[in-house]
Amino acid sequence: MAVPLIFRSSVMVCGASMCGIVGYIGDKNARTILVEGLKSLEYRGYDSAGFAVFSADGRLELCKTEGKISALEKKAAGLTGHYTCGIAHTRWATHGAATEVNAHPHISSDGRIVLVHNGIIENYVNLRRLLEAEGVVFRSETDTEVLAQLVAKFYEPGRLVEAVTSALKSVQGTYGIAVMATDMPGTIVGARNGSPLVVGIGEGTWCLASDKSALPAEVSKLFYLEDTELVCLDDDGYRTMSLENVEIRKEVLEFQYEIEHADKNGYPHYMLKEIFEQPRTIADCFRGRILPEQGMVKLGGLAAIEDRLRDFSRIVITACGTSWHAALVGEYLIEELAGIPVEVEYASEFRYRNPVIGPETLVLVISQSGETADTLAALREAKMRGATVAGIVNVTGSTIARESGCGIYIHAGPEKSVASTKAFTSQVTALALIALRLARMSKMSGSQGMSFIQELMRLPEKMERVLEQASAIRALADEFKGQSNCLYLGRGFHFPVALEGALKLKEVSYIHAEGYPAAEMKHGPIALIEKGMPVVVVAPRYGVYEKVISNIEEIRARKGRVIAIATEGDESIRRHADVVFHVPDVIEPLSPLLTVVPLQLLAYYITVAKGLDPDMPRNLAKSVTVE
């Protein structure tokens, strides 16, 4: 007989999502553990949230709501029982609107199966039609409901693993799921294909989550599920298997719970905290890797391909979003320092064309989370075509880190704000290290290498000086918060900086902004400029400085308002710009690490001035784990 259900939500409907999943079995109160875990995963989605928990006597309670985790926590305040097992979910909507009725967990129409899901089921329409033909009644238009109904179709009492494996054999698409059956309190089945799941183990504790950051302090060991693998957790422990129900032995890793970076440390938002962390995070990226006396770097993560680095005739860098902008800086760095041809590809387009790569190509894949679906697909495409692949990622143990086989961790620490800041500068730092390594193997002398490293080592202190201008940038924000359009211009190394500055403003303030090479302005975008329109020009004093000044004058002739990012000591630029922020002088290949910081601060303060939350911009999620 099915266990009684107590519902805290008006309708039992869900939708597929790019989201965060947590599951817990143990002696602690599952409700508290799950909600705290969701808070760690809220960067993955915050359209809605929910959980389902079993009490010690086998009662199941469901609670879900539209909005952020705080809304769920408030709604769940009335649940005072002790719950020993449960699953939870925070949603970024893909199929179905961001409403309470589409929030997870989802329960099958017969009330036997409870399920949360990250991913997209591509053949859900056909599956739904087949189920409807068998009399199954659907309550939503979403793809996730199909999964719950499909598992219920195959479910026989006490045989949840068999029902899940049978259901998933019919599924096309990506998924990370956690499933419970109402007549099996204390059991959770998890499975993944394209969406990450990590399993945590502690004394009397078994957990699973989309990210290890959501695992509770009781966890001391962990392992990662690979695609088409399942795990069954219960009071007796865990077992892992394939879709064919063949047992799989997993490598179990030590896990040390860290509260590091978990709170805002007095900052009003994670975004501002992470901007101010950058002097430390770029130092963490190069610390232990530089050999100043030799003008060299030691990149242990690339040891597996060390002997072949000289043999690559070209490099392809692929990434998405902010990481793509870092890749553009990397292209400039590697070509300038090492003289090796570099191409930068959008990971989302890479596998849908016919990229010319092979054994002579080194493919660098960049992803903060190490789980970006498009970038992971590009990695697999590159490997299939015979290229050597190296990853540049932040999250240890992530799928891209595991599948690339070699690469560099950027050591930026957890990045909670959806808008990436410290990951960008750490990625650029990692690319600078790679460029230096390649250059020293070819045309760069030891003394040149020593000079480059000395410049790199001075960057954290110089970045601190840029951050000292935060109050002046904040004062500017009130003036520009009412604008609806903005242009960002830069040349050479600062064209990617212009792109990144424009992206930051769009992401968090919802002001339309575009980045261009400064010289391209007169080939179309100049038509947009009108009286008072803000134009941010990245104009440090390098080789094309005078040409950038000419571009500024073209803007002023049309009464645009110029905000310039200039080199310390350049006071003459004040004759051409309405507002000037200075950055310390540094060699040009490393200058994007300084010139981007005022643009990050500008986006942040404009957003706050508009009364918006920069950590959770609408329609966005931190880790894009669906295509």
d(CA 330, CA 430): 9
* Residue type at position 60: L
Q: Which residues contact 527 (CB under 8 A, 6 or more apart)?
A: none
d(CA 112, CA 130): 20
Q: In what order do the strands lie in the sheet with 388-393?
A: 342-346, 314-319, 361-367, 388-393, 407-409
Task: Collapse the DSSP code of 80 into the 3-class scheme (helix H, G, I; strand E, B; otherwise coil) and give the result.
Answer: coil
Pairing verdict, β 561-567 and 579-583: parallel
Q: Which of 19, 63, 207, 232 is catalytic?
A: 19
d(CA 275, CA 421): 6
Pairing verdict, β 60-66 and 5-7: parallel
Question: Hey, what are 132's tokens?
Answer: 């409807």
d(CA 160, CA 149): 13
Task: Collapse the DSSP code of 465 into the 3-class scheme (helix H, G, I; strand E, B; otherwise coil) and give the result.
Answer: helix
Pairing verdict, β 219-224 and 205-209: unpaired
| Cα–Cα separations (whole angstroms), residue 291 to 352, 390, 557 | 41, 22, 50
Burial annotation 107-120 (CB, 10 A radius, 16+ → b, else e): bbbeebbbbbbbbb
Task: Report angle CA 175, 369, 456 to the nearest 5 degrees.
Answer: 165
Is 622 labeled as catalytic in the residue annotation? Answer: yes
Is 610 labeled as catalytic in the residue annotation? Answer: no
d(CA 206, CA 200): 6
d(CA 593, CA 595): 6
Q: Which of 209, 301, 289, 300 is nearest to 255 (CA)?
A: 209
Task: Collapse the DSSP code of 281 into the 3-class scheme (helix H, G, I; strand E, B; otherwise coil) and give the result.
Answer: helix
Phi, psi at 507, each rounded to 5° = -60, -45
Task: Report angle CA 62, 66, 70 to the nearest 5 degrees.
Answer: 85
Q: Residues 124, 146: contact at Cβ < 8 Å?
A: yes
d(CA 328, CA 343): 9
d(CA 527, CA 377): 39
Q: Which of 153, 212, 504, 622 is catalytic?
A: 622
The residues carrying an active-site annotation are: 19, 622
